[in-house]
Structure 1
Amino acid sequence: MSDDKTLTKIPHFDGHYDHWSELMENLLRAKGLWSLIENGFEEPKQETRLTEAQQAQLDDAKTKDHQVKHYLFQAIDRTVFEQILDRRTAKIVWDSLKKKFGGNLKVKKSLLNALRREFEVLEMKRDETITEYFARVMVVANKMRSNGEEMTDTKIVEKILRTLTDKFTYVCVSIEESKDIETMSVDELQSTLVVHEQKFRRVHREDEDQVLKIEGRSNSTSRGRGSYRGRGRGRGRAVFNKATVECYKCHDLGHFQYECPNSSKEANYAELEEEDELLLMAYVELHETSRSDAWFVDSGCSNHMCGNSKMFSSLDTDFTHSVKLGNNTRMKVTGKGVIKLFLQGVCYTVSDVYCVPELKNNLLSVGQLQEKVSQFCLKTECAASIIH
């Protein structure tokens, strides 16, 4: 057998006769062997005398017939092979397979019903990509087509739009509103969803990088300074062991800088003297900054705070309190409300912001930002578990 025949990939018979027979027919036609399936050949009776040319022609037909049978036997497993009782010629083998698997309408109907159920329950997995899900859907759809089911692109498109994960909901709504689903091809839908999937991944990576930066800054500024105090909190702060705290001044363990016995200066950070006090742990005056709409991210700040009441989109003036600064001065809180910040063309809504008219610098609390991210992730996971 030549190298070309050795490397020939034989289509495996998986029970779907129509699909397999079309592939096998195409292979045999390409090899110039299909006439042995259509017409077959008969060996002459033993007493018949053949000329030298006739004998050569008969030997060639036998060789090619064995070659076709070799392809057919390679395509079926042992169970199917044993169902073929007469294996004299390739045509007899082919006709036997066709009779058992291709011509039985009851078998095809039963298989099609199973495929319909499989198609109906298909839905995208949470960790699955668009390309992977489309491949799963198309495998079932093509099997249904090969068994006589009419599977239009519209039917497949509608199925996919119904069964994507929650993060594609607004994309599906946008597609249904802006495009004609009746004329949309499967390839067009896949390319559109792949583009949105890439955007989701890019935004997710940027969000993760930003959270890591915020957490990194929070950890670096809190070493030995007691910045765990106040309402701001992040991951890993539920359990606190003071024995592991390193003093920022003398570098000994077991106390903070403001408690250091070697310190002769007044502590620059507020202590928890009164439970009803809201603490602003770090206070920095930036004299060179005169813009009232400038914001600074502060890992020691216990709450978001703004000194300009005009920046609030809504403000509850019935809420009053006071904050104590690191230099032991106090400022009055005259209200609590919502502020909208625009960053790179995107509007972000910041809630629970305290209005402190005496404050020179607007501050965003790292603790509150982390708390909002943690709450959002928890709600998302809970909602996903309920849906699934």
Structure 2
Amino acid sequence: MANRATGVPAPQLLFDGSEEKFDLWETRFLSCLHILKLKETILREPDEASDEDRWKNADCYAELVRLIDDKSLSLIRHEAADDGRKGLRILKEHYSGKSKPRIINMYTSLTKLRMADSETVTDYLLRAENIITALREAGETMSDGLIVAMTLSGLPDSFKPLAVHVTQNEDSVTFAGFKRRLRVYEESEKMKMTEPTTDNVMKTYTRQGGGHSKPHSNRKEEDANITCYKCGIKGHKARKCYKKVWCNYCKNNTHAESLCKKKGGQDGVRKVAEEQGGDQDHLFKAKYVKSDRPPGNVKMKGIMVDAGATSHIVNDINKFQSFDNSFQSETHSVELADGNKCSGIAQQRGTAVIHLLDNAGRQHTAQLRDTLYMPSYPHDIFSVASM
């Protein structure tokens, strides 16, 4: 509305000729006409134009020309003089039309959309939705999957974990559900930034007597008793290990040659785990039972329950029920707990089946989907996040 004292329209009611802002401006303009009792006049063509209708239509035109820029006025002043209905129709066809070049430009804008560093998720989604709404009003049919994919491509690298989760999820994701996940992820990341830095992968707990697991209070004493499973030296975790190691046997920089499982260094790995004792992660000991083996050949092996791992890891191919044929080992990289990234160590991905014994001796079958087959990894990993 105009300022009561000066008659100057409010800034948000003025249209500056920006195509992407026309729909928002039109909403404000029609609301203004509604207050002036002119909205019905400009939206509906009367069966028979009366003198009263002509006057009201001219009033709509007068309001319209007050609130548009010079370019827009030039579009209507000759063809729609004193005709508010026709003037608004011309502007709408020009700024929100269904011409092929305009639709292509909108698709291009959507594919090139990028979230700015200073932008919030809400601001970014509003920009995307303005283009999406304009495309739909132009008659374009867009699936939620296509919209989600285009919106994902414009997110910064900090949103990659969410992008991986959305693209790997077999369930269909609606755009409304995706927006909700995006906002929740942003809030969780903000909370992490305000919290003190902690080692949230493979935290250290000990079992005292028959009670509950309790965290260590003295981290220095804890680190002094820990043996690094990367270099085999006491006093630090593998995550904090800066020692360069190299295994000549399997050509890998994630462990020393003495701890290489392929070379037969499984005893070395077990020795490291035994040296850590109660000061390392208290592992949930699950028993694998292979029904096709004689009882005397059953191998008992521990599985690590890791809240920080994003995928299950199994190093025995016999535990796999099926494999994903689309998985490409050479392009897949794994980030280990010590921060190192390795490519090619995950040879397959598929569904693994394991058998667990609970504390009452009852056997349970667990099917682990999207499990990585990594024969060089020293132990199996049960991912809490993946489950």
TM-score (norm 2): 0.43
Q: Which has the larger radius of gyration?
A: 1
